[in-house]
Amino acid sequence: MHRFFQLEGTTANERTLFFSLKLLAGFALWAIYTYYYTERSAADIWKYFDDSAILHQTLRKDPATYFRLMCGIGTETENCLQVRSLMQHWDRSFDSFLFNDSHTIIRFNTLVRLISGGNYHIHTLVMCMLSFIGLTALYKIVQPFLSDWKKLPVWIIFLFPSVVFWGSGVLKEGLLLFAFGLLIYQSILWARDGKPKRLFWIFVFAALVFVTKFYVLAALFPALLSWIIIVKRNGRNVFATFGIMLALFLGTGIVFSIFADKYNPAKIIAIKQNDFLRLAGGGTYLYNDSIVVHLSSEQHGAIQFSPDKQTATFAVGTPYTYWHIENDFNDTMQGVQPNINGSYTVLTDFPRAGSLMDVKPLQPNLRAVLFAVPAAIWRGLVRPYPWEVRNPLLVLPFFENILILVLLLFAMLFFRRDKSVNVIVLSCLTFASLLLAISGLTTPVLGALVRYRLMAFLLLAIGLSVCIDRKKLIARFPKLEKWC
């Protein structure tokens, strides 16, 4: 076995067990979305996989178009647009200047098809390998801070429920774990040894995090940069460094909101949340030359679709919401279908998300976003509530909430007074807080939120674990010694 995978505090059999559990979780995810949730076009594990088949077929027919789409360069040619139109999830229904991270998972599946022959389980195997590498890298950085524990760092990093489940399927989360773990690993090693070659890998993995989930990189930046600076300064001025970095982070956001409206972070968050609300709320979106119309899922019966479902009309007297196209969805208005039935092009037709939360649309200004942050963090941290666990996929997140609360309680009761761990604790808590805020602000669907908060919960669990004094805990609960 390569020395990279020789982890202190674990045996070869345990590492084999951890990887085997990931494979089982990946196959379980496949079974759930094959035999329980059977709508293939709505399942993330299938919709990007199916789109990759279309892109893969282009390799033989039109290699130039294939490489253009795989590289993201010159994708507006006629041939590229034709291939894009065949893929259901390459282009967003409501597109904006934000990076479309669906491209990343489609490209990943397309690359793996070169060796898989279209066998989905090969894709699962590759994703499990990549995410396991990322978790191994993260463990190697974290373990020295938890060296007095026997098994806790292993339980937290390799057996955290959402990490095992969502990080083992053919989803963005697996790629994120791979790039995220290696980015932290290379960054901290570079801070310690200063080897120039590590800068190349830092750039590569940072770019991969960005194209997979760009907001995770935004949340990680102040925490990781602070950690690097503190390591370079031999552990001095820990709290001051984090304070200055967070002030610069927030100050940069304010500057962009004033002088660069296109990249205004409050506007970006509001756009992302409003796009999510439009899709999660269900219903039908139609458009003509001047307006986009939304009919709620309750009004679906009033719509008459053409045989190919490309165009539609709706009954006279039907109330609807609409926006003028030239105003970029900033003029929400209400109307009632007049006496003459107009014909519209069908933009989207979605059912209402089953776990849609009662969240008000954000206004695209910094004041509105900042006031919404506490409630957003609360949603990300404690939901689902017990009475919301009506979906089998919400059972694990509910138990994760309990786990985080238990770790928080132990951290308060058995606090570890050791200045040497301040840097990792502050890094984990800073990142977790920022990501929970971003996820809670932009994601109004509980089923999606428990996936998007995955990295925040993983590092929050690590940070809280580091805060716990093992000797104090074992003195109070001696039976825990053999388990942790």
Q: What confidence score (pLDDT) does residue 112 get?
A: 96
Q: Is residue 340 situated within a structural domain?
A: yes
Tell me the pLDDT of the chain averaged across its residues: 86
Q: What confidence score (pLDDT) does residue 341 get?
A: 60
Does pLDDT of 109 surpass 90? Answer: yes
DSSP state of 194: -
| Residue 88 to residue 278: CA distance in whole angstroms | 18
Does pLDDT of 208 surpass 90? Answer: yes
Name the more confident of 285 and 183. Answer: 183
Does pLDDT of 411 surpass 60? Answer: yes
Q: What confidence score (pLDDT) does residue 172 get?
A: 93
| Element holding 424 (H helix, E strand) | helix 422-442
Residue-wise pLDDT for 317-332, tens only, equals 788 777 776 665 566 7
Q: Is residue 290 situated within a structural domain?
A: yes
Does pLDDT of 162 surpass 80? Answer: yes
Name the more confident of 224 and 75. Answer: 224
For residues 248-254, give the mean pLDDT. 86
| Element holding 87 (H helix, E strand) | none
Asked if 48 contacts 105 with a C-beta cutoff of 8 angstroms, the reply is: yes
Lowest pLDDT segment from 70-74, 125-129, 258-262, 449-453 = 258-262
Q: At what angle do helices 172-193 and 120-142 cross, to 10 degrees?
A: 30
Q: What confidence score (pLDDT) does residue 482 get?
A: 76
Would the pTM count as exceeding 0.75?
A: yes
| Residue 342 to residue 283: CA distance in whole angstroms | 18
Name the more confident of 442 and 328. Answer: 442
Q: Is residue 52 situated within a structural domain?
A: no
Total tally of structural domains belonging to the chain: 1
Q: What confidence score (pLDDT) does residue 6 get?
A: 81
Q: What confidence score (pLDDT) does residue 97 get?
A: 47
Does pLDDT of 287 surpass 70? Answer: yes
Name the more confident of 376 and 272. Answer: 376
Does pLDDT of 138 surpass 90? Answer: yes
Q: What confidence score (pLDDT) does residue 286 get?
A: 79
| Residue 59 to residue 237: CA distance in whole angstroms | 54
Instruction: Give the domain extent around 297.
Output: 282-350
For residues 276-303, give the mean pLDDT. 77
Does pLDDT of 407 surpass 60? Answer: yes
Q: Is residue 135 situated within a structural domain?
A: no
CA torsion angle for 117, 119, 124, 130 (degrees, to 10)?
-10
Does pLDDT of 376 surpass 60? Answer: yes
Lowest pLDDT segment from 56-70, 94-108, 433-447 = 94-108
Q: Is residue 317 situated within a structural domain?
A: yes
Q: What's the token pair of residue 103?
A: 């491209």
Q: What confidence score (pLDDT) does residue 339 get?
A: 56
DSSP state of 304: E
To which residue do tokens 């990792």 refer? 424
What percent of the chain clears pLDDT 90, i.e. is strictly above it?
Answer: 44
Q: What confidence score (pLDDT) does residue 463 get?
A: 94
Lowest pLDDT segment from 110-114, 286-290, 471-475 = 286-290
For residues 114-142, give the mean pLDDT. 95
From the list 458, 424, 433, the residue with the least C-alpha distance to 380 is: 433
Does pLDDT of 311 surpass 60? Answer: yes
Q: Is residue 345 situated within a structural domain?
A: yes
For residues 144-156, give the mean pLDDT. 86
From the list 397, 377, 414, the residue with the least C-alpha distance to 448 is: 397
Q: What confidence score (pLDDT) does residue 253 get?
A: 81
| Residue 65 to residue 133: CA distance in whole angstroms | 32
Does pLDDT of 198 surpass 90? Answer: yes
Q: Is residue 314 situated within a structural domain?
A: yes
Residue-wise pLDDT for 456-468, tens only, equals 999 999 999 999 9
Name the more confident of 79 and 203. Answer: 203
Q: Is residue 246 situated within a structural domain?
A: no
